[in-house]
């Protein structure tokens, strides 16, 4: 399963939750949402480590060393971008579970966190 197919499944789940087709007890929904929040936090910490790695130095002054450094930095940025999408997905799952229990204010906060995950201007 790719991140894109997962996002499509999450969107369907969210739509069903918003429509009231899928319903969870508020306590159960909060417990599920908490698991996704925890996952998002772990992914965000990993993303921060990747961002730090993308700025690593010590490769030396040779052109080939600078090219190697640039290559590693590019790979780290690509991985960080992918992590952003997974973080967004975790928050979208949190949002969907909260919607399924009618916890609209909490769901709105999760939706805002999902948007921040993919907007570099709004990083935590």
User: What is the per-residue pLDDT across 24-43, written as a single tens digit (0 to 9) for each?
Assistant: 999 999 999 999 999 999 99
**What pLDDT sits at residue 3?**
85
- Domain total of the chain: 1
The DSSP secondary-structure symbol of 102 reads T
**What pLDDT sits at residue 124?**
46
Report the C-alpha gap between 11 and 21 in whole angstroms: 14
Domain holding 17, by residue range, is 3-122
More confident residue, 30 or 75: 30
63-100 and 3-19 are packed helices; what angle lies between their axes, rounded to 10 degrees? 20
């Amino acid at each position: 399963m790719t991140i894109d197919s997962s996002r499509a499944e999450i969107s369907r789940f969210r739509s069903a939750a918003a429509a009231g087709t899928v319903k969870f007890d508020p306590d159960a929904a909060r417990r599920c949402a908490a698991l996704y929040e925890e996952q998002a936090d772990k992914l965000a910490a990993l993303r921060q480590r990747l961002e730090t790695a993308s700025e690593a130095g010590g490769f030396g002054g040779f052109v080939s060393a600078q090219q190697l450094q640039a290559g590693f930095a590019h790979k780290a940025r690509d991985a960080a971008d992918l992590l952003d999408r997974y973080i967004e997905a975790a928050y979208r799952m949190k949002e969907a579970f909260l919607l399924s229990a009618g916890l609209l204010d909490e769901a709105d906060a999760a939706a805002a966190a999902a948007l921040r995950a993919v907007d570099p201007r709004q990083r935590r």
